Amino acid sequence: MLPEKITAYLADQRDRQLAELVDLLRFPSVSSQSDHEADCLACAEHLAGCLRGLGLTAELRPWRRHPVLIARSTDAIAPDGPTVLIYGHYDVQPPEPLDAWTTPPFDPRVRDGAVYARGASDDKGQLFAHLKALEAFLAARGRLPVRVVVLFEGEEEIGSPDLERFVADHADELRADCAVVTDSQFFAPGVPTITYGLRGLVYVELAVTGPAADLHSGTHGGAVVNPLNALARLIAAMHDDRGRVALPGFYDDVVPLTDDERDAWDALPFDEAAYARSLGVEPVGGEAGLPLLERRWARPTLDCHGVVGGYAGEGAKTVLPASATAKISMRLVPHQRPEKVLAAFGRFCAERAPAGVEAKVTALTQARPVLVPIDSPAVAAAADALREAFDAAPAMVRNGASVPVTELIQRILGVEPVVTGFGLPDDNLHAPDEHFRLDQFYRGIAASAACLLNLRTRLA
Amino acid sequence: MLPEKITAYLADQRDRQLAELVDLLRFPSVSSQSDHEADCLACAEHLAGCLRGLGLTAELRPWRRHPVLIARSTDAIAPDGPTVLIYGHYDVQPPEPLDAWTTPPFDPRVRDGAVYARGASDDKGQLFAHLKALEAFLAARGRLPVRVVVLFEGEEEIGSPDLERFVADHADELRADCAVVTDSQFFAPGVPTITYGLRGLVYVELAVTGPAADLHSGTHGGAVVNPLNALARLIAAMHDDRGRVALPGFYDDVVPLTDDERDAWDALPFDEAAYARSLGVEPVGGEAGLPLLERRWARPTLDCHGVVGGYAGEGAKTVLPASATAKISMRLVPHQRPEKVLAAFGRFCAERAPAGVEAKVTALTQARPVLVPIDSPAVAAAADALREAFDAAPAMVRNGASVPVTELIQRILGVEPVVTGFGLPDDNLHAPDEHFRLDQFYRGIAASAACLLNLRTRLA
C-alpha cells in the first residue's frame, strides 16, 4: 500500500502535474520529419531539466537522429535498493492529417476528462507519470525506494532503428535488476494490463521505377508499363485469397499459438462487438478462420501505409508516373527474424516485378518480436501495483504493436522487462485526436509509485 | 503558296510574337485546381483582348468552372469565304512535381531553341500560332481569307466535362463549314501530322473506405481490412496476366484494327528503338502480342494516376488509413461508350471489394472516341499547308490521347474536324520541363496561314 504521505501529496499536486504534462505535450517532437529535429532536441532537453530538478543526473547522448536521454539517481536520493531501468520515448508520430484534429495536435487542450495532443498517450503522458511518481517520493520522503536508471529515447516512432547498437554500447551504464517499459495500453477500460508479448516490425519502402519522366497517359498509355499499376499488382500479390501473406517462406519460423495461451485469451474480458463498434467496421481482416486476438497478437501481417507517385491533388491529371513508391510494413511474431523476412520481401519484389519496370526495396526499420516470462518477481510487483492503483486485477496479454527496446533489454542487458502502460484502447494512438484520460494519468502515477515500492520488497 | 507579303511580315515579327507567347504562358491557368480559378479567368480575358486587338469580336461565356472564349471575324475584316472554326484550349495541366522542373513552370524561359513553360506545347503555343496567322493577314492585307469562329475552352485538361452541353447550346453560333482542332503533335520530328483518330476517356476516383478513423497498424493490423491493401487488390484485378483489361464486357464494343490500317501504320516512319530511348524504358506495356502503335492508338487502356490515403510523407508511419482513393482513367477506342464502360467499372468494384471495406466510384470526366474521314477537302487543305510550311509530306495517324471537342464537332455540329498541331513528341506534355520548339512555333504560324488560304480555295 502506498503510504498516506505519498497519496496525500499526489492528491494535492494534480493540477500542477497536469499543467506540467501539458507543457511537455507542446513540443512537436515528430521524429520522422527532419524539420522537427530541433523540436525533438528541445523536448529531450526539457525532460532532462525535469529530471535534474528532481535531483537525478541527466545527460543527452547524441544518437542517429535524435538524442537518447539517460538519467540516474544519485546515492544522495537513492542510497540503497535494487536498480530499476525505466524506459519511455519522447518522440511522437506525425500528426497528419491535420484537418482531422478537433484542436491542434501541439496545442494541448483538456476536455471531457482527457488531455488532447499528439503524444498525450503515446508516450509522453505515460513516461511523465513515472517522473511524477519519483517526484512524490522525493517531496514526501526526500529519497527514492529504489535506484533508478531512466532511458528515454527519441526514435521509437521511427522504429528505434539503431537502438540495438546504443544499448550494446551503453550496456554497463544501463545495467539494472529489472526494467519497466511503459509504452503500452490497458486491454480494456478498467482492466490494467501487463503485456508479455509484442510483435516485431520490418518497415520498407518499395519503389517501382519505369520511364525516365512522367508521361501523358493518352500518348503513351498501352506502350509503357505504368509503375502505379505495377506497384498495385506487386502489393496485391503479397497476400493470397485467404488473407495469408504470400511471400515464400514468410511463415517458416512462426510458432503456432499453444492451446493454453488460446484458452487464456478466450477468457479475457474482450467484447468483440464493442471492438467492432469502436473501429466503425467489422474486424474481418487478416488470415481467414483464425480468432481475432490471435490475428492481432500472434500472427504476422503485411500492410501498406501509403503510396507516393503520380498525381494526388485535386481533380484529374492523366499522368503515367516515372515511379511510384509504397510504404509497407510487416509485423513479425516469434520466432520470425527481421533480416530473413526482409530478404524474402526483396526476392519476391525482384522476381515478381514485370518487365518494363524495376523494383527497389529500402529498409527503414527492423525490430524482433519478443515474449517475456510472466512469473518473474518484477511482473508480480507491477501486477500488485496496478491492482492497488486501479482497483482491478491486471490482465496478462500480448499486443500486436512493436516496442523494440523490450527485446533489446531482454537480449542485450539480460533483464526480463515488464511492459505495462496506462493508455486506453480508444486513445487514438497514431491517429487524429490522440488523447490521454486524466484519471489514467493520476492513477498511473500512483501505480508507478507503488511499483517502485513493491520492487524494493520483491527484489530484496 | 503563302504570298511574299505574309512571309515577310512573319519573318520580321518573330521576336515580338515570341514575346507575346511568353506573356500568355505566364498565366498559371491550371483548370483542375480551384485556387487557380482567377488565373484561368485572367488568361481567358487576356486572349479575348488579343482577339479584339485583331478586330474580331470576342466574348467570355461563363461555364461550369472556367469560361469559354468565343470570337468571330466581322464582315469588315472577313467579307467573304467559308467559315472556319478554330479550336484550342487555354487551360493547362497541373505543374506538379514542381521540384522536377529546371526552371519554374510559369516563369517561361527560352533556351536551346525552345520556350519552357507549362502549356507551352499543350496548348497555348499551338493556339497562339493561329492568332499570329490571323494577325499576319490583317497586318499585310487588312482582311482575312476566310470567315473565322474561334472556340478556346478552359476545361480541356479536366476532360471538357460539360463541353457537350455547351456545343449543343451554342450550335448556331459555332456553325462553320470546317473545323481546325489544334491540340495535337507531329508524329516525329520533321513529320507534320494529321490525326484522324483519338481515343475517348473515362476518368474516375475509386474510394475504398474501411474503419471510422486511421488506426495503429500494430494494435489493429490483422483485425481490420486495410483500405490501401484492398485498393491495391482491386486495381491489380483490373488487368489479367496478358495485360488485358479484366472488367467484364470491357472489349465488347471494340472494333478490331483493319489490315489496311495496320499496313499503313507499318509504313509510318516510326523508329521503335528511338521511341524506347526517349521513354528511357522498353515499351512493353499494354496487351501482350500486339504491335506498339496499335496498343497506343487502337486499343483501350486502364491506368492508375495516383493514390491518396495513409501516409505519404518522409520516413515511416505505421497507419492503417480509414480510406484510400485511386485516380484511374480508361482510354476508349471506337465504338466503346463512356457510360457503358463506367457502369462496368462500377459493377466490378462493387462486386470485388472485399468484406470489411466499401468501394465508391466517382466519375470525373468522360469523352467518346472519334474517327474522322481522311478524304475531306479540309484535310486536303491542311495537308497542303503542312507540306508547304514544314517541307515534308504529312503523315496520317491516330493518337492515343483524347481531345473531347473533336467528337462533339463531328456529332453535334455535323462538321468533320481536321486535327493537327505543331508540337513534337518529346515536348514533355503533362510532365516537368514541358516546352515548345521555336521553329515549330514559327512554321506553325505559316502553316495556319497557308491552311486558311487553302480552305478558301478548297471549300469555294
Asked if pLDDT for residue B158 goes beyond 90, the answer is: no
Q: Which structural domain range is residue A211 located in? A: 200-254+300-367
Task: Please give the backbone phi and psi of residue A53, each rounded to the nearest 5 degrees, phi first.
Answer: -60, -30
Q: Is B239 part of any domain?
A: yes
Q: How confident is the model at residue B146 (pLDDT cuts 50, 70, 90)?
A: very high
**A94 alpha-carbon distance from chain centroid:** 13
Please tell me which residue of chain B has the smallest CA distance to A245.
B222
CB pair distance less than 8 Å for A429 and B216:
yes
Query: Does residue A393 sit in helix, strand or coil?
Result: coil
| Residue among A32, A218, A365 minimizing CB distance to B314 | A32
**A50 CB near a chain B CB, below 8 Å?**
no
A425 touches B at CB < 8 Å: yes
Could you tell me if B132 and B213 lie in one domain?
no
The DSSP letter of residue A255 is P
User: For residues B339 and A198, what is the distance between their CA atoms, to the nearest angstrom?
Assistant: 51
The predicted structure's pLDDT at residue B245: 98
Interface of A with B in 137-166 (CB under 8 A): 157-159
Report, as an integer, the average pLDDT of B263-288.
94
CATH label of the domain that carries residue B345: 3.30.70.360
The predicted structure's pLDDT at residue B1: 86
CATH code for position A444: 3.40.630.10
**B139 and B96 in one domain?**
yes
**What pLDDT digit, counting tens, does each position of B165-205 carry?**
999 999 999 999 999 999 999 998 999 999 999 999 999 99
Say which DSSP state B157 is in. G
User: The pTM is what?
Assistant: 0.89
Q: Place B316 in a pLDDT band, splitting at 50, 70 and 90.
A: confident
Q: Tell me, yes or no, whether B72 and B181 share the same domain.
A: yes
Domain closes at, from A346, A367, A388: A367
* Domain identity same for B363 and B378: no
Structural domain ending residue among the three candidates A330, A349, A367: A367
C-alpha cell at A286: 487478416
Same domain, residue pair A38 and A89: yes
CB B352 within 8 A of CB B146: no
Q: What is the 3-state secondary structure (H, E, C) of B20-46?
A: HHHHHHCCCCECCCHHHHHHHHHHHHH
Which is it for the CA torsion A190, A193, A198, A204, positive or negative? positive
C-alpha cell at B82: 467559308
The predicted pLDDT at position A1 comes to 86
Residues A147, A13 within the same domain: yes
Q: What is the pLDDT along chain A (460 residues), one digit of tens a residue?
A: 899 999 999 999 999 999 999 999 999 999 999 999 999 999 999 999 999 999 999 999 999 899 999 999 999 999 999 999 999 999 999 998 899 999 999 999 999 999 999 999 999 999 999 999 999 999 999 999 999 999 999 999 988 888 999 999 999 999 999 999 999 999 999 999 999 999 999 999 999 999 999 999 999 999 999 999 999 999 999 999 999 999 999 999 999 999 999 999 999 999 999 999 999 999 999 999 999 999 999 999 999 999 999 999 888 889 999 999 999 999 999 999 999 999 999 999 999 999 999 999 999 989 999 999 999 999 999 999 999 999 999 999 999 999 999 999 999 999 999 999 999 988 998 889 999 999 999 999 999 999 999 999 999 8
Q: For a pLDDT cut of 90, what percent of chain B falls above it? A: 94
Residue B262 within a domain: no
Mean pLDDT of chain B: 96
Q: Given an 8 Å threshold on Cβ–Cβ distance, is B93 in contact with A317? A: yes
**SS3 state at A419:** strand
Whether residue B273 lies inside any domain: the answer is: no
Query: Of A367, A389, A414, which residue constitutes the final position of a domain?
Result: A367
**Is residue B286 included in any domain, yes or no?**
no
B315: pLDDT strictly greater than 90 = no
- Count other C-beta atoms under 10 Å from residue A168's C-beta: 13
Clarify whether residues B57 and B178 are in a common domain: yes
Element (H, E) at B346: helix B338-352
Q: How many domains does chain B have?
A: 2
User: What SS3 state is found at B308?
Assistant: strand
All three cell numbers of B49, joined, read 483582348
Longest dimension (CA), chain A: 79
Q: Do the domain assignments include residue A262?
A: no
Query: Cα angle at B176 between B170 and B178, to 5 degrees?
Result: 130
Full DSSP string of A3-58: -HHHHHHHHHHHHHHHHHHHHHHTS--BTT-GGGHHHHHHHHHHHHHHHHHHT-EE
Same domain, yes or no, for B67 and B144? yes
The verdict on B182 and B226 lying in the same domain is no
Q: Which residues of B touch A33 (CB under 8 A)?
A: 313-315
- Please tell me the predicted confidence (pLDDT) of residue B148: 98
**Gap between the Cα atoms of B447 and B395, Å rounded:** 15
Amino acid at A136: A
d(CA B301, CA B286): 7
Please check whether residue A281 lies inside any domain of the structure: no
Burial A376-409 (b: 16+ CB within 10 A, else e): bbbbbbbbbbbebbbeeebbbbbbbbbbbbbbbb
- Spell out where A372-412 has E strands: 395-399
Same domain, A237 and A305: yes
CA distance B111 to A407: 59
Contacts of A16 (CB under 8 A, 6+ apart): none
pLDDT at A41: 98
- Number of A–B residue contacts, CB under 8 Å: 350
Asked if B222 and A301 count as a contact pair (C-beta separation under 8 A), the reply is: yes
Instruction: Tell me the residues of chain B between 252 and 311 that have a Cβ less than 8 Å away from chain A.
Output: 275, 279-287, 292, 295-296, 299, 301-311
Question: Cα(A422)–Cα(B364) distance, rounded to whole angstroms?
Answer: 47
- Beta pairing partners, A325: A207, A308
* pLDDT, position A316: 85
B376/B386 Cα distance (integer angstroms):
16
What residues of B are in contact with residue A429 (Cβ under 8 Å)?
216, 219
The number of CA neighbours under 13 Å toward the Cβ of B260 is 0
Alpha-carbon gap, residue A423 to A444, rounded angstroms: 9
pLDDT value, residue B95: 95
- Residue A358's SS3 state is strand
| 8 Å CB contact between A40 and A32 | no
| SS3 label, residue A147 | strand
Measured in angstroms, the CA of B407 and the nearest CA of chain A are apart by: 16
Q: Within a domain: residue A70?
A: yes
Per-residue confidence band for B435, with pLDDT thresholds at 50, 70 and 90: very high
**Contact indicator for A192, A419 with CB cutoff of 8 Å:** no
Closest in A222, A228, A235 to B286, CB measured: A222
- Classify strands A358-367 and B417-420 as parallel, antiparallel or unpaired: unpaired
- Quote the pLDDT of residue B276: 96
Binning pLDDT at 50, 70 and 90, where does residue B71 land? very high
Same domain, B314 and B186: no
pLDDT of B72 above 90: yes
Taking the C-alpha atoms of residue A441 and residue A389, their distance in angstroms, rounded to an integer, is 11
Q: Do B320 and A314 make contact, defined as CB atoms within 8 angstroms? A: no
Residues A67 and A170 in one domain: yes
Looking at the domain assignment, is residue B17 inside a domain?
yes
Task: Report, as an integer, the average pLDDT of B142-160.
Answer: 95
The pLDDT value given to residue A222: 97
